[in-house]
A and B are shown apart, each in its own frame.
Chain A
Amino acid sequence: MPLLPKIAPAPLEPTLGRAAMVVLLLAVLCVLPFVLSDYRTFQLTQAVIYAVVLLGLNILTGYNGQISLGHGAFFAIGAYTAAILMDRWGVPYWATLPAAGAVCFCFGFAFGLPALRLQGHYLALATFALAVATPQILKYRKLEDFTGGVQGIVIMKPDAPAGLPLSQDQWLYLFTLAVAALLFLAAWNLLRGRVGRALVALRDHPLAAESMGINGSLYKTTAFGVSALYTGVGGALGAIAVQFVAPDSFLPFLSISFLVGITVGGLATVSGALWGALFIVYLPNWADEISKSAPWAIYGAILLVLVYLMPGGVAWMLPRAWALVLRRIRSRGGAGPGA
C-alpha cells in the first residue's frame, strides 16, 4: 500500500492569469516590509525561508514519492555551513548560500544512493535516523572547534548595502525574497517539463516509468540532492536571519514539522510551500496564545481539522473553493452560460 496519496501534480502551464497572480503576489510581498514592523518583517522572513525548505521537500516527497523525515538534518547542515563560513573565515553572508546549497546537494545525493534500496516506511525511518543523530553529532567533541559545541555560533546580522535606506530586517527580508523567487522559478521550470513528469511517473508506476526509459536511480538520487540543496539554502538563510545556530535548534521535531507543512500546504504543488510555511511559523504562536498548558494539544486539534476539511492541502482546496463560490454567484445571477 502506498504511504502517500497519488495526487496528480498541480498544473503548471504559464497562463496569463497565473502570471498575473504571481506578479501581484510578488508586488504585495515586496511592499509588506514597508508597512509592517521590523518584528513582523522578521517573522515573514522566516516564513519565506520555510517556504524554500518546503518546496525542496515537496520535490522529493510530493513529486517523487520519497518520504523524508530527515530534512531537519539538511537544514542544520546548511545553517552550520553558513555559520562556520561566516564565523571562521569571514565569508560574506550572500556567498555562503551557494556553498550551503552545494554541501547539502552532495550530502543529499550521497544519502539518496542507499535510500534507493529503501521504500515507503523504511525510507522514512532511515531519514528519521538522520534527524535524530544530527543534534548529537553537532555536539561531538572533535567537531567542537568548528561547531562551537552546545554553545553554538553567534553570527552578525548583515547590514543593507551602503546607500539603501533599509533596516537590517527589511534588507534581509528582501534579500531572502529574491533568493526564494529565484529558487521557486527554478523549481517551476524543472517540474513543469520532462523532469517533473519523470519524477511523478517514478512515484506512481516505477516499473512502467523505467520501461519507458527513465533512469530511475539517477532521477531518484538527483531528486534527493536537489531537495537537500533547497533545504540547505533555507538553512543558511535561517541561520543568517536568526543570527545564531545551536544543536538544539535542529531537534527531530523540526523534520516532522516540515513534513506536516507540505501536507497541510499541498503535496505535489509549488504554491503549497507558501501555505505550509505560514502554517509552520504562525500556528505554534496561536496555539501558545490559546493555552499555555497544552499548546501541542491545540496544535494537534487544528491539524486534525485541517486534514479533514482540506484533504490534499490548502493549495488543492483553494481553487476548488473559489470555483464553488464563482458557480454560486453565477447561478444566483441566473444569466451566466455556466449556470
Chain B
Amino acid sequence: MIRILALAVAALATALPAHAQKKYGPGVSDAEIRIGQTMPYSGPASAYGVIGKSQKAFFDMVNEQGGINGRKINFISLDDGYNPARTVEQTRRLVEQENVLLLFQSLGTPTNSAIHKYVNARKVPHVLIATGASKWADPKNYPWTMGFNPSYQVEARIYAQHILKTAPNAKIAVLYQNDDFGKDYVVGLKSGLGAKASMIVREVSYEVSDPTVDSQVVDLRGSGADVLLTFATPKFAAQAIRKVGDLGWKPTHYLTVVSASVGAVLQPAGLDKATGLITALYLVDPTDPEASKLAGMKAWGEWMQKYNKGADPNDQFHVNAYAAAWLLTEILKACGDDLTRENVMKQAASLKDVQIPVVIPGIRVNTTASDFATFGEMQLGRFDGKRWVPFGELLSGR
C-alpha cells in the first residue's frame, strides 16, 4: 500500500515539471520575445508617433532590468503613415517576416480596421490597440483583438449616469461628429439613459468637412436644453465651446476625453469659456501637483528622466504609452513559460482588478473571456480654468 502511494507521489512529481514545460509560440525563445506594432511616425497623425517611441523607451528599461522572466523584449515598431494600405503591408511583414508573437498598441481606428480580419484569420494576438472604438471588444466574432483605451460607449454611459444622478429632469442636447466615433458615443449615451432616453430633446451632427459647428450650436440652444454633450474631435470641440460661451448659454457641458487637451482645445476656445466643462479621466495628469505623490508617478518620472530623455514631461501621451506597455508586461509575466499565442490571449482575457500605476487609483482593468472592455470605470473631472480637477466617486460604465 505504502509502495503504491510512493509510486503515485513519484508519478505526480515527474508529471509536474512536464506540466510546467516551456511552450513557445512564434517569435519566442529562451532569450527573447518578439512583439510588433504599427505606428504613424509619418503622415497626418504623426503627432501620435511619440507613443511608439515612448514605448521603445519603456521596453529598454524592462530589458535593462533583466527582461520578463529572463527574456528580453524585442520591440519592432514600424511606420504605417496612418495609411490603412500600409498598415496591412507592415502588419504582414511583422507577422510573416519578423515572426512576432503578438501585435501591441497598433494605433488608429481605420488602420486597425484594415487588419482586423487578417489577424483574426491568422490567430495573431492583436492586443491593447490604441483606439477607443467599441468594436474592438467583440470576443465572439474577433477573439484575437482587444483594445486598450476605455471605449467611447463606456465613457458615454458614465456621463449618462452622472446626469441621471445629478439632474434627473434635465433636457439633454447632443452634438456629435457624424462617423463611427460620434455615433459610438450616442449609442452609449442612450444605453446609459435606458428608459429615460427621452431626456434627449435634440441631437445634431456635423461633418468633418463642415467649416464650423456654429449653426449646430445655435440649433441646440433653441431646443431649450440645459445639459449639452459634445462628442467632437478637437477642432470642432473648440468651436463648440467658444460658440456656447458667445451665446451666453450656460448648460452643464460634458466634453469627450478625446478633446480634453488643454493646449489643443481649451486654450483656443478660451479658458474662461472652458471653465466648468466636465470630462471623464482615467490616466493620472502629470501636471497635477498631487500626481508626484503617487508611487506609480514617481517611477514614471524616473523612467522619463533616465530612458525617455528629451520628451516633454507634461505630455499625457507618455503616461498613456507607459500605461499600455506596463499592462503588456504584466500579461507576459502571467504567461510564465507558456508563451504561445493562445496563452497570451487567455492571460489578456483574465485580468482581474489590475491597477496600472499611472492610472487613477481605483480604476482597475478587468477582462474575461466574454468581455474584452479593459476599463469599465472612469473618474469625472471639472476644468477649473487651468487643469482638470477630479471630483466625485469613480463611475462605472460597463
Out of B42, B95, B114, B178, name the residue touching A242 (CB < 8 Å): B114
Determine whether the beta carbon of B83 is less than 8 Å from that of A251. yes
- Set of chain A residues within 8 Å of B84, measured between Cβ atoms: 152, 242, 244, 246, 248-249
Q: Distance in Å from the Cβ of B356 to the closest Cβ of chain A?
A: 25
The segment out of A37-45, A218-226, A268-276 that lies at the interface is: A37-45
A–B pairs, 10, beta carbons within 8 Å: A151-B110, A151-B113, A152-B84, A154-B113, A244-B88, A248-B83, A284-B42, A288-B78, A292-B52, A292-B77
Residues of B within 8 A of A248 (CB): 44, 82-84, 110-111
With A152-B114, A242-B85 as known contacts, state yes or no: A42 contacts B92, CB within 8 Å: yes
Contacts of B88 on A, CB cut-off 8 Å? 242-244
Check: B268 CB closer than 8 A to any chain A CB.
no
B180 at interface by CB-CB < 8 Å? yes
How many contacts A-B (CB < 8 Å)? Answer: 103
A139-B117 in contact (CB<8A):
no
| Complex interface: chain A residues within 8 A of B78 (CB) | 285, 288
What 7 pairs across the A-B complex have the smallest Cβ distances?
A39-B96, A288-B79, A244-B114, A136-B209, A150-B179, A246-B110, A248-B110
Q: Which of A42, A136, A249 contacts B83 (CB 8 A)?
A: A249
Docked CA distance A248–B110 (Å): 7
- Tell me if B250 is interfacial: C-beta within 8 Å of chain A: no
Q: Is the CB of A39 within 8 A of B97?
A: yes
Q: Which residue of B lies closest to A46 (CB)?
A: B89
Output the nearest chain B residue to A42 by Cβ-Cβ distance.
B92
Task: Kindly list chain B residues whose C-beta atoms are within 8 Å of the C-beta of A34.
Answer: none
**In the complex, which residues of chain A have a beta carbon less than 8 angstroms from the beta carbon of B114?**
152, 154, 242-244, 246
User: Which residues of chain A have C-beta atoms less than 8 A from B81's C-beta?
Assistant: 284
Is B70 interfacial (CB-CB < 8 Å)? no
Residue contact B208 to A136, C-beta cutoff 8 Å: yes
Q: Which residues of chain A come closer than 8 Å to B97, judged between CB atoms? A: 37, 39-40
Report the minimal beta-carbon distance from A41 to chain B, rounded to whole angstroms: 10
When the two chains form their complex, are residues B96 and A139 in contact, meaning their CB atoms are under 8 A apart?
A: no
A139 contact set on B, CB distance < 8 A: 179, 207-209
- Check if B362 is an interface residue, CB within 8 A of chain A: no
| Chain A 241-277 near chain B by CB (<8 Å), digits 1 or 0 | 0111011110101100000000000000000000000
Least Cβ–Cβ distance between A252 and chain B, in angstroms: 10
Main secondary structure of the interface of A (DSSP, over half): helix
Counting CB contacts under 8 A, is B168 at the interface? no
Task: Flag whether A296 is at the interface (Cβ < 8 A).
Answer: yes
Residue in A38, A238, A288 whose CB lies within 8 Å of B96 = A38
Q: A150-161 vs B: 1/0 string, CB under 8 Å?
A: 111010000000
Contacts of B43 in A (CB 8 A): 251, 253
A47 to chain B, nearest CB (A): 11
**Residue of B77, B89, B180 touching A42 (CB-CB under 8 A):** B89
Does A312 count as interface, using CB distance less than 8 angstroms? Answer: no
The docked-state distance in angstroms from the alpha carbon of A277 to that of B111 is: 23
Measured CB to CB, the residues of A under 8 A from B are 37-40, 42-43, 46, 136, 139-141, 149-152, 154, 238, 242-244, 246-249, 251, 253-254, 284-285, 288, 292-293, 295-296
Q: Which residue of A lies closest to B178 (CB)?
A: A141
> Which residues of chain B are within 8 angstroms of A253 by Cβ–Cβ distance?
43
B190, CB-defined interface residue at 8 Å: no
Does B86 make an interface contact (CB < 8 A)?
yes
Q: Is B49 an interface residue (CB 8 A)?
A: yes
B249 is an interface residue with CB less than 8 A from chain A? no
User: Which residues from chain A contact B93 at a C-beta distance below 8 Å?
Assistant: 39, 43
Closest to B49 in A: A292
B41 in the interface (beta carbon within 8 A): yes
Shortest distance from the beta carbon of B89 to any chain A beta carbon, whole Å: 6
B346 at the interface (CB under 8 A from A): no
- Measured between C-beta atoms, what is the minimum distance from A318 to chain B in Å? 27
Most chain A CB neighbours (cut-off 10 Å) among B95, B116, B117: B117
Asked if B171 is at the interface of the complex by the 8 Å CB criterion, the answer is no
Give every chain A residue within 8 A of B56 (Cβ-Cβ). Answer: 292
Residues of chain B within 8 A (CB-CB) of A238 are: 85
Q: Taking A37-B96, A136-B208, A136-B209 as contacts, is the C-beta distance between A149 and B117 under 8 angstroms?
A: no
- B151 → A minimal CB distance (Å): 16
Please, which residues of chain A bring their CB within 8 A of the CB of B209? 136, 139-140
Q: Is the CB of B92 within 8 A of A292?
A: no
Smallest CB–CB gap between B172 and chain A, Å? 23
Bound CA span A292–B46, Å: 11
A150 neighbours in B (Cβ, 8 Å)? 109-110, 179-181
A32 to chain B minimum Cβ distance, whole angstroms, is 16
Measured in the bound complex, the distance between the Cα atoms of B81 and A152 in whole Å is 17
Q: Which residues of A contact B41 (CB under 8 A)?
A: 288, 292-293, 295
Determine whether the beta carbon of B118 is less than 8 Å from that of A243.
yes
Q: Add 9 more A-B contacts to A139-B208, A149-B179 (CB < 8 A).
A: A39-B92, A39-B93, A43-B89, A139-B207, A150-B181, A242-B114, A243-B118, A293-B41, A295-B79
**How far apart are the CA atoms of A220 and B115 in the complex, in Å?**
40
**How far is it, in angstroms, between the C-alpha of A152 and the C-alpha of B116 when the chains are bound?**
12
Distance of A136 Cα from B211 Cα, bound (Å): 12
A288 to B79, CA, bound (A): 6
Instruction: Say yes or no: A246-B49 contact (C-beta < 8 A), given A149-B179, A253-B43, A295-B42.
Output: no
**Residues 87-102 of B contacting A (Cβ, < 8 Å):** 88-90, 92-93, 95-97
Q: How far, in Å, is A142 (CB) from chain B's closest CB?
A: 10
Per the bound structure, the CA–CA distance linking A116 and B137 in Å amounts to 52
* Of A136, A139, A248, A288, most B-chain CB atoms within 10 Å: A248
A232–chain B nearest beta-carbon distance, Å: 16
Give the residues in chain A near B116, CB-CB below 8 Å: 154
Query: CB of B53 within 8 A of chain A?
Result: yes
A139-B209, A141-B207, A248-B83 known; A154+B42 contact, CB < 8 A: no
Q: Interface digits, B104-132 against A, CB 8 Å rule (1 contact, 0 not)?
A: 00000111011011100000000000000
Q: Report the minimal beta-carbon distance from A7 to chain B, rounded to whole angstroms.
A: 31
Mark B291-328 against chain A: 1 for CB-CB distance below 8 A, else 0. 00000000000000000000000000000000000000
